[in-house]
A and B are shown apart, each in its own frame.
Chain A
């Protein structure tokens, strides 16, 4: 990016930037309301030179990117979209910590505040607060094209003059004005900046002065925040700052509390109001006086929101709204799981091919088994989800950026609220398998868009209870074996059961673990816009890459551990000997039979074939087949014994008494344990443990026939297993993603233990019902 403004920067400016900053780059922060086009501007400035991560301890995305203005390198920090600098949400806390960091060296030199020109007041409300914090601000009055089309003009010179802040008209989509905004921000960066001081009226101002004096005298937090700003925040009842003050100087904190309490009770008795209400009223008052007298001119005939209003009449209509929403959700699923199945298949094929290749290259034995079954099998399983995640997030990003997602939350909030959740919880639930066949991994990742913390956690913890695609084969196998006459009905009931349990459990969680009043819903329904391809692709790729990177590394370790658990210890030669002896004996019988059959066949081809010979051949073939079947049984018995002997098998036997009340034996228990690795593994492990060889999840017929004939199994056990599989511990990839999104290992363990406990209870209740129904 070239810019003429740089050359005009004076000597004063050069003196203000340090040598290091001029060489390595100046840090400039990018702030603004949600939906103001900030991210589009950020992408336009930084292009591909972006780095996306997380702020430590929270799941707010940290986006930084490099750009330059003339020779000067600039590190842009894209802050999460906020309306204010209160400490109520994680986003707001992050914005504050970036603008006024503990380490003064990380403090941005200036802030570019992106404002949607149509909602100038609200945008300026944030700008005032940033200026009060002492940061130099440049206003990027964005979406100027839309404003112009709606017949709106803003006298930016007048606004700049009255507001004391430089303002530039911008259109982030086309890049208009961005160079200039950056250049102005660099000018701002090179100057010292004094915090903005505005009057808060006859009641608040004296209190503010007294507090400021105390803070300045004792130098409380003054290296980080301007004294007056600290006083303001304390008056607003800012708990985070109050705690910081408490740990800085307990006595002073009490003294400051006293001032605040006096003001609060005075305001309550005289004006029936609170300090924070008065402060916000005066802030808006300051903004309104700056905008007075023709700064903003509008033609009354054109309404920028006319198109949005028309669309909303249809899309949020009492009847059409829900119908269209169902259609949108259905389309999303269809695209993701039907179309996504192709690339998913390619990834699976690739790993299958790689596995075969390695089988050929590596000598048979433990190393081959580790590489092929453990590493390639495990990592391939994880990566095969990547196409699904990318497609799903492509659609989710489109729905989000277009403004439709906010409408979904708006339409369904009433239902979700009854269970202590938020309208925005619906999408993650649906993605996770609210419509059978979803996947909890993108579901958990989709909770990112939720801004209410308690609701978000409850959503995240309960969405793995949905009928994800990997659980379906288990249900299919069991219904085929025990409920063959009503398979579809049972599958539907299971999906409904997932919803019911998830909603009830989240209600329970919101009354216990995530207790507390519901977060205010108050949200903007942004105008409908056609999203830019670039922002959608960036969004999608960021999420996909995070999944590949984080889940990939941990999963590698987990796959190896699970492989080891189901491989070691191997049977000793003594243990295996009886089986191998039987197999060898059978082989000894089969080989001569084979020779006899071959000889007979050769004779039959000759001229003197007799009926006797044909009969002989048929009977020999029959004998051979019987022997081969016995041999297969023995081989399967060996495999079963091998599994039983491994650590995994031993654990299965160890926990068997615990799961007896549900009707599961050790084989089912091992399968459930391996199901924690991936739900797909349940069937294949059951197949091995029930000694019917490897079971193909797509064709579980043999296993289902085996179970139907097993005296230990019944409709009741099948029901209890289906309920258990539906609810118990999420698979490991989900758990890892959950750990990242919820912010801590304890949530991983919580989810494992809590869900399994719920599953146990529900499955047990299921056995009681089953006994009543089927005896």
Chain B
């Protein structure tokens, strides 16, 4: 199964989070939102200027900047 970071994930594809590589506040906020290893995630949309990106995780939609999505490693299902 190919691993990549979240920025590269094509819209609509389901993937599972492998690792959060961000530290400090950003890492904390990403985890607080429920983006943790093992969670399945899907890109559901992008803002008109292609950034930020909207994600679907368990029951909610989370928006992340592309630069923040770089810190989330995923594995395509």
User: A residues engaging B (CB < 8 A)?
Assistant: 83-84, 86, 88, 116, 118-122, 125, 236-237, 274, 276-277, 280-281, 284, 288, 304-305, 308-309, 312-313, 316-319, 321-322, 406, 410-411, 413-415, 417, 423, 519-527
The minimal Cβ–Cβ distance linking B18 to chain A, given in whole angstroms, is 12
A522 contacts which of B26, B44, B51 (Cβ < 8 Å)? B26
Complex Cα spacing A305 to B55, Å = 12
A524 contacts which of B26, B27, B60 (Cβ < 8 Å)? B60
The answer to whether A312 and B48 touch across the interface, beta carbons within 8 angstroms, is no
The minimal Cβ–Cβ distance linking A589 to chain B, given in whole angstroms, is 73
The answer to whether A525 and B54 touch across the interface, beta carbons within 8 angstroms, is yes
Closest to B21 in A: A272
Closest to B53 in A: A410
The answer to whether B28 and A276 touch across the interface, beta carbons within 8 angstroms, is yes
The answer to whether B52 and A118 touch across the interface, beta carbons within 8 angstroms, is no
Given contacts A83-B33, A411-B47, A525-B54, contact A520 B25 (CB under 8 A): yes
Complex Cα spacing A474 to B75, Å = 60
Given contacts A88-B28, A521-B68, contact A121 B58 (CB under 8 A): yes
The answer to whether B30 and A522 touch across the interface, beta carbons within 8 angstroms, is yes
The minimal Cβ–Cβ distance linking A124 to chain B, given in whole angstroms, is 10
Contact residues in A for B23 (Cβ distance below 8 Å):
274, 276-277
User: B residues engaging A (CB < 8 A)?
Assistant: 20, 23-34, 36-38, 44-45, 47-52, 54, 56, 58-65, 68
The answer to whether B36 and A84 touch across the interface, beta carbons within 8 angstroms, is no
A525 contacts which of B20, B61, B65 (Cβ < 8 Å)? B61
The answer to whether A410 and B68 touch across the interface, beta carbons within 8 angstroms, is no
Given contacts A277-B27, A316-B54, contact A122 B48 (CB under 8 A): no
Contact residues in B for A318 (Cβ distance below 8 Å):
48
Closest to A126 in B: B32
Give 5 CB contacts A-B under 8 Å: A88-B28, A312-B61, A316-B48, A423-B52, A520-B25
Complex Cα spacing A116 to B58, Å = 12
Contact residues in A for B62 (Cβ distance below 8 Å):
522-525
Complex Cα spacing A118 to B29, Å = 20
The minimal Cβ–Cβ distance linking A129 to chain B, given in whole angstroms, is 10
The answer to whether A84 and B32 touch across the interface, beta carbons within 8 angstroms, is yes
A274 contacts which of B27, B29, B52 (Cβ < 8 Å)? B27
Contact residues in A for B58 (Cβ distance below 8 Å):
119, 121
The minimal Cβ–Cβ distance linking A417 to chain B, given in whole angstroms, is 7
Closest to A304 in B: B59
Complex Cα spacing A277 to B25, Å = 11
The minimal Cβ–Cβ distance linking A451 to chain B, given in whole angstroms, is 10
B26 contacts which of A125, A410, A520 (Cβ < 8 Å)? A520
Contact residues in A for B51 (Cβ distance below 8 Å):
413-414
Complex Cα spacing A626 to B23, Å = 82
The minimal Cβ–Cβ distance linking B13 to chain A, given in whole angstroms, is 16
The answer to whether B20 and A237 touch across the interface, beta carbons within 8 angstroms, is no
B29 contacts which of A88, A237, A308, A411 (Cβ < 8 Å)? A88
The answer to whether A520 and B54 touch across the interface, beta carbons within 8 angstroms, is no
Closest to A152 in B: B59
Closest to A308 in B: B61
Closest to A525 in B: B61
Given contacts A280-B28, A309-B44, contact A410 B60 (CB under 8 A): no
Contact residues in A for B61 (Cβ distance below 8 Å):
305, 308, 312, 524-527
Contact residues in A for B20 (Cβ distance below 8 Å):
277
Closest to A521 in B: B65
Closest to A321 in B: B48
Complex Cα spacing A520 to B64, Å = 8
Complex Cα spacing A313 to B61, Å = 13
The answer to whether A305 and B56 touch across the interface, beta carbons within 8 angstroms, is yes
B68 contacts which of A236, A322, A522 (Cβ < 8 Å)? A522
Contact residues in B for A520 (Cβ distance below 8 Å):
25-26, 29-30, 65, 68
Closest to A88 in B: B25
The answer to whether A125 and B32 touch across the interface, beta carbons within 8 angstroms, is yes
The answer to whether A522 and B49 touch across the interface, beta carbons within 8 angstroms, is no
B63 contacts which of A274, A319, A415, A523 (Cβ < 8 Å)? A523
The minimal Cβ–Cβ distance linking B50 to chain A, given in whole angstroms, is 8
The answer to whether A522 and B59 touch across the interface, beta carbons within 8 angstroms, is no
Contact residues in B for A122 (Cβ distance below 8 Å):
32-34, 60
A121 contacts which of B30, B34, B63 (Cβ < 8 Å)? B34
Contact residues in B for A125 (Cβ distance below 8 Å):
32, 34
